[in-house]
Amino acid sequence: MAEVKITKRSEDYSRWYTDVIAAAELADYAPVKGCMIIRPNGYAIWEKMQQALDGMFKETGHQNAYFPLFIPESFLRKEAEHVEGFAPEVAVVTHGGGSKLEEPLVIRPTSETIIWNSYRNWIQSYRDLPLLINQWCNVVRWEMRTRLFLRTAEFLWQEGHTAHATYEEAEEETLRMLGVYRRFAEEFMALPVIEGRKTEKEKFAGADHTYSIEAMMGDAKALQAGTSHHLAQNFAKAFDVTFQTEKGTREYVYATSWGLSTRMIGALIMAHGDDNGIIIPPKLATTQVVVVPISRKPEERQHVMRAVEKFTLAFKTVGIGFKVDDREQYSPGFKFNDWEKRGVPLRIEVGPKDLDKNQVVLARRDNREKTSASQDGLERTVVDMLNAIQKSLYERALEFREKHTYRVDDYGKFPEILDGEGGFIWSHWCGSGECEERVKDETKATIRNIPRESPAEEGKCIKCGSRSERRVIFARAY
Amino acid sequence: MAEVKITKRSEDYSRWYTDVIAAAELADYAPVKGCMIIRPNGYAIWEKMQQALDGMFKETGHQNAYFPLFIPESFLRKEAEHVEGFAPEVAVVTHGGGSKLEEPLVIRPTSETIIWNSYRNWIQSYRDLPLLINQWCNVVRWEMRTRLFLRTAEFLWQEGHTAHATYEEAEEETLRMLGVYRRFAEEFMALPVIEGRKTEKEKFAGADHTYSIEAMMGDAKALQAGTSHHLAQNFAKAFDVTFQTEKGTREYVYATSWGLSTRMIGALIMAHGDDNGIIIPPKLATTQVVVVPISRKPEERQHVMRAVEKFTLAFKTVGIGFKVDDREQYSPGFKFNDWEKRGVPLRIEVGPKDLDKNQVVLARRDNREKTSASQDGLERTVVDMLNAIQKSLYERALEFREKHTYRVDDYGKFPEILDGEGGFIWSHWCGSGECEERVKDETKATIRNIPRESPAEEGKCIKCGSRSERRVIFARAY
C-alpha cells in the first residue's frame, strides 16, 4: 500500500482531484491512452448508483435490454446531425477473425442508430407503444484530453431509448426522466442540480432539443450531470420506423433518449471532497460505517471485540453497511486517516474506556465532529446520523452553490467572477448562437442551460443588448 | 405482435430452438454478422442470473471492478499459448478519432492480459494477497458459425481474476468457484451438472489446467456451462508480477480465472423447454406467476378484479413476482398460450365460478397440470408450488440425463448411441491426445471432462486398449 499525499484544493484543484482518486484507490489510467480502470472502491460507488437508478427506471415502467457494441458505419450516416456530431470521435474496427471486414464497424459512441434499426421490426401498431427500454453498457468516444471519470475514451453508462405515438408523450417522457435524474442527484448523490434546456449549439447531435441537469463542483465550475433528449421523429425517419395509429393511418414514431454515466463518480468527488479526500454520501456508500476497535492488551482486545460483535449484529438487522478494521499491524491513527481518505461517512471508535461508560465515539466524515453515544440502541443512533450526514452534504453543496451564484447585467463583471472564485452567472441572453459563441470565446464560459425554474423576465442580452425574455446560466464547465 | 409457430422438438431440434427464442421474444440477430440483440424478456433472465451469481461472488469475498475494452495487441503476445488460442478470433481497432492508431487495439476476448498488467502495480507484498476481483462485461470473439446465446461474436459474461501466494491456494480458489457455478446451475437453473477437469487439448489457452461443469441438453448433447482455470504463474511471468513473501523472498504470483456467460440462457432453453416454448425456473423468473382474470360481463369483471387485487396484495408481501393480464382485446385462450411460450412458471385463472367457490385454478407450466386452490392463504400455496416446480424441473433434467448416460467398454457402440438418441458415454481413456483426437474425428464426440466424482477404476482405453485409471465423459457438444 503506497502512501498518497493529497494536494490541498486551494493549492491546485486539478492535482487535488487526481490525488483523491489515487488515495482512495478509485481508478487508474489504463495502458491504452484515454481509457481507465475502475478499481473496486470506485466500482462499488457505480454499483450503488446503478441500483438506485435501475430501481427508478423500473418503477417508471422501463425494461432493460442489450444491443450490440458494433454499429455498421453506414448506420451512423443515416441521421445527418448525428453523424456530424459523432463521426470525428469514433473508434473503428476494420479487421475481425484475421480478415479485413467488408464494411468497417464503429464501436458505439451511443446507440440510437442500432436501436432504431431494431425498433423498425418491433413497432407495428399503436399497441406496441410506448416502448420503454434502457441498457447498461460501455461506450467509446475517442478523446484527446482525458481525465479520470470526467472524460475518458471508454466509459460506462445507461442509455434509455423510448418510442411514443405523439410529440407530447415523448416530451412528457423526456421531462419524466430528467426528473428521475434530478431525484437521483439530489436524494442519492446529495447534489443540488438545476434542470434546464440546452441551447441549439449544445444539444445532442440528432435531437430536437435536449434537457440537462447542471451541478456546481467544489471549484465553482459547472458539470453536466445527465441529459435527456427529445429526438422528435428524426431517428424514426432515418430508420423508417412507422406505426399504425388508432385511426388506421401510418405515422413516424417519436423518440427520446437519456443517459447518465460514470462521470457522476467524478461529480461526487468534486462536489463533496475535502482536503482529506473523497466523502461518499451514505446512500451511495457500501461501507457506511467503519468500526475501529482500540486496545493495547490481549484481554482488552477480547473485551472490546465482544462489544463490537454485539452492536454490529444489530447493524446487520437494520441494513447498515459496515466494516470492522481489526488489522493488528496498523495504529488507530493510521486507520482513521486510511478510512477518511476512502470517504467512509462515519467512523466508530471503541476502546476499554468507552466500554466502562457503555459508549462509543462517533466521528463524522463530513464535518469531522466527534461525539459520544450509548451502545444501547446504537443502530438507531447510527441510522439517524447517516441520514443527518446525507442531508448535511446536500445542504452544504447548496449553500456553496448559492454563495457562488450571481445575477449579472453587466458583461464587464464576467472576468472578475470567472477568473476569481468562479460561479454560476444568471444573465440575459437574446437567444442567438453568435452571442453565445462570442461569450465563450472571450470568457470560456458556456451557457449551461436555460433553467426551467427561471421565471419570465424582460431584460437585455448581456452581450448584444437585444431583447431577452429570461435569464440563462453562464459558467465555465467540465 | 407477430405469431410465431414453434416447430416440434422431435421434428427439428435446431429450428425448435430458434422458434422458442422468437416466440418468447428473447433475442434477435443483429445487423452485424454474429452479434445478437438481447430483448427485454431475455435480458430479464440474465439480470436474475447476475443477481444470484453476484451475491455468491461477494459472499466468497470477491469485489467487482472494471477494466478496459481495449487491449494493446502486444499484450496478447506476452503469453505464448494465450495468443495462439485467441489471436485468430479477435476484432481489431485500427482507427480512432479519425486517425490511424500507432498500435492496433484488440477488443478483449477475455481480460487476463490487461488485468495482469494492472496487478503488477497492485501487488507488492503477501499482504496484498489474495486479490479477489470479478468483472461483468462484454467480450468479443469473432465466430463464423453463430447461434443465438450459444455462440455469438459479442457476448456478456462475468470473468473472475484472482491472485494468490501459493499454487495450493490458487487450486482451492479454482475449485471453490467451480463449486459456486455448480451451485448456481443446480439451485437456480435447476440444471444438474458434472464437475470435472478438461483434457490438455480442451483447456483454456494459457491455463495450467481447466475445470468445467457440463450439462445435458434436451437433445442429449452436452453443453459446457462454466469454466474455472488454474493459471499457475503463467500470466505473472508474462507480466512480471512478483510479491515479497513473509520470509522476504520474491516470488511470482499464482492466478485463477473463471467465467460464465449469456450462453447459460441458451442452456436454460434447451434443458427445460418443451414443444410449447421456454420454461423459466421460478428462481430465475421475473414474472413467476401470471394471473388471468376471466369474465364476460362488466359486473363480473369488477367482482373478479377485486378478488385478484386482494390476493396479489398478499403476493407482494411475500415477494412473489407476478403480472395481471387484464388486456381486454385478447381471449383467455390466447393469453394462456402467450404466457406459456414466454415460460412463466405458474398461471392463475380466476373467473366468476371460481369466486363462488372461493378458489382459483393453478396451471403449472412444467407439467401443465391444473389444480384448484383456495383463495385463503393463496400466497403460501403459490410459494410452495413455485418451489415444487423448481424441484421438479431439476429432477426431470436429472432423470433425462440418467436415461441418456451409458457406461461403454466397446468403441463399436459409440455410433449407435451418438447417431441414435445421443447421450453421455462414460468410457475409459488412456490419456493420450491422439486417441482423443481420433475419437473426435470418427464420431464427433469430444471428451467433455474427466469427472471429479469418477472413482478410480482399472480399465482399457476405449480407442487403443492401453491401461486407463478412470472413465471420462464422451459426448457431442454445443
C-alpha atoms less than 13 angstroms from C-alpha of A384 in its C-beta half-sphere: 7
Say if residues B222 and B478 touch (Cβ distance below 8 Å). yes
**Confidence check: pLDDT of A340 > 90:** yes
Q: Name A168's Cβ contacts closer than 8 Å, sequence gap at least 6.
A: none
Residue A231, classified by CB atoms within 10 Å of its CB into exposed (0-12), middle (13-18) or buried (19+), is buried
Residue B43 to residue A64, Cβ atoms within 8 A: yes
| DSSP tally for chain A: helices H, then strands E | 14, 26
Please list the residues that pair with A477 across neighbouring strands: A222
CA B361 to chain centroid, in Å, comes to: 33
Contact criterion met (CB < 8 Å) for B140 and A69:
yes
Do the Cβ atoms of B382 and B391 come closer than 8 Å?
A: no
**A406 - beta bridge partners?**
A425
C-alpha cell at B390: 423448481
- Could you tell me the pTM of the whole model? 0.96
Span B10-15, average pLDDT: 96
- With beta carbons less than 8 A apart as the criterion, state whether A477 and A221 touch: yes
Between B299 and A477, where is the model more confident? A477
Judge whether residue A2 has pLDDT over 80. Answer: no
CA distance B470 to chain A (A): 38
pLDDT at B21: 98
Q: Say if the ipTM goes beyond 0.85.
A: yes
Sheet containing B346-350, strands listed edge to edge, beginning at the edge strand earlier in sequence: B322-324, B289-293, B346-350, B359-364, B370-374
Residue written as cell 438487522? A317
Task: Name chain B contacts of A246, Cβ cutoff 8 Å.
Answer: none
> Is the predicted pLDDT of residue B1 greater than 80, yes or no?
no
- The mean pLDDT of chain B is 96
Average pLDDT of every residue of chain A = 96
Task: Show the 3-state SS of A413-477.
Answer: HHHHHHHCCCCEEEEECCCCHHHHHHHHHHHCCEECCEECCCCCCCEECCCCCCEECCEEEEECE
Q: pLDDT value at position B2?
A: 54
First to last CA, chain A: 31
Among residues 337-366 of chain B, which lie with CB inside 8 Å of chain A?
none
d(CA B221, CA A280): 50
Chain A residues whose CB is inside 8 A of the B91 CB are 70, 93, 95-97, 105
Per-residue model confidence as pLDDT tens digits over B147-167: 999 999 999 999 999 999 999
Q: Of B31, B105, B138, which is closest to A138 when you measure between CB atoms?
A: B138
Q: Are the CB atoms for B116 and B238 separated by under 8 Å?
A: yes
The pLDDT, as a whole number, for residue B455 is 85
**What 8-state DSSP symbol labels residue B207?**
-
**What pLDDT score was predicted for residue A4?**
77
Burial A349-388 (b: 16+ CB within 10 A, else e): bbbbebbeeebbbbbbbbeeeeeebebeebbebbbebbee
Packing angle of the helix pair A13-23, A263-272 (nearest 10 deg)? 110
Q: Encode pLDDT of A251-294 as tens digits.
A: 999 999 999 999 999 999 999 999 999 999 999 999 999 999 99
On whether the CB atoms of residues A110 and A255 are closer than 8 A, the answer is no
Phi, psi of B333 (to 5 degrees): -60, -45
- How far lies A278's CA from each of A10, A320, A342, B361, B407, in Å? 16, 20, 6, 57, 62
**Any chain B CB within 8 A of the CB of A80?**
no
**Residue with cell string 479526500:** A277
For the residues A302-319, what does the mean pLDDT come to?
A: 96
Longest Cα–Cα distance of chain B, Å, equals 84
Q: By the 8 A CB rule, do B226 and B181 touch?
A: yes
Q: List the one residue out of B14, B91, B90, B4 whose CA is nearest residue B39.
A: B4
The C-alpha cell 477568473 sits at A419
**Do A30 and A138 touch, CB atoms closer than 8 A?**
no
| Among candidate residues A474, A446, A426, A422, the one with its CA nearest the CA of residue A219 | A422
Q: Which domains does chain A have, with CATH numbers?
A: 13-272 (3.30.930.10), 287-388 (3.40.50.800), 405-475 (3.30.110.30)
Chain A neighbors of B328, CB-CB under 8 A: none
Contact B40 A31 (CB under 8 A): no
Strands B289-293 and B322-324, by their bridges, are parallel
CB pair distance less than 8 Å for B96 and A138: no
Question: What's the CA gap between B371 and B384, in Å, rounded?
Answer: 14
Position A3 pLDDT exceeds 80? no
Subunit contact A65:B38, Cβ cutoff 8 A: yes
According to DSSP, the residues that pair with A187 across neighbouring strands are none
pLDDT above 60 for A1:
no
Q: Do B30 and A67 touch (CB under 8 A)?
A: yes
What would the pLDDT profile of B411-458 be if each residue is shown by its tens digit? 999 999 999 999 999 999 999 999 999 999 999 999 999 999 888 899
User: % helix / strand / coil in chain B, to the nearest 5?
Assistant: 40, 30, 30
CA distance A330 to A292: 11
Quick check: A119 and B39 in contact, CB under 8 A?
A: no
A125 in Cβ contact with B56 (< 8 Å): no
Q: Which residues contact A459 (CB under 8 A, 6 or more apart)?
A: A409, A428, A467, A468, A469, A470, A471
Task: Enumerate the residues of chain A whose CB falls inside 8 A of the CB of residue B157.
Answer: none
Lowest average pLDDT, out of A432-441, B179-188, B233-242, B449-458, goes to B449-458
Residue A129: alpha-carbon gap to chain centroid: 29
Matching residue, cell 470473468: B159
C-alpha separations of B337 from A282, A450, B292, B330, B381 in Å: 47, 51, 12, 11, 23
Q: Is A4 on the interface with B (CB under 8 A)?
A: no
User: What is residue B87's DSSP assignment?
Assistant: G
- Taking an 8 Å cut-off on Cβ atoms, the answer to whether A97 and B144 are in contact is yes
- Proportion of chain A above pLDDT 90, given as a percent: 93
Q: Tell me which of A139-148, A380-389, B16-25, B242-251 is least confident.
A: A139-148
**Cα A209 from Cα A200, distance rounded (Å):** 7
Q: Does A1 touch chain B (CB under 8 A)?
A: yes
- What is the identity of the amino acid at B330? Y
Q: What is the pLDDT of residues A203-241, one digit of tens each?
A: 999 999 999 999 999 999 999 999 999 999 999 999 999
Whole-number Cα distances in Å, B169 to A341, B176, B231, B238, B254: 32, 10, 12, 20, 8
Strand-pair category, A99-107 with B471-475: unpaired
* Among chain B residues, CA nearest to A65: B40
Q: How many C-beta neighbours within 10 Å does residue A328 have?
A: 5
Under 8 Å CB-to-CB from A68, ≥6 apart: which residues? A108, A114, B30, B32, B35, B36, B37, B154
| Residue-level pLDDT at A80 | 86
Q: How far apart are CA A159 and CA A227, in angstroms?
A: 10
Contact A254, A233 (CB under 8 A): yes
The CA distance from A272 to the nearest CA of chain B, in Å, is 23
Q: What does the pLDDT read at residue A421?
A: 95
| CA distance linking residue A439 with residue B319, whole number of Å | 56
Peptide bond into A130 cis (omega under 30): yes
Element (H, E) at A209: strand A209-216
Interface of B with A in 128-147 (CB under 8 A): 128, 133, 137-138, 140, 142-144
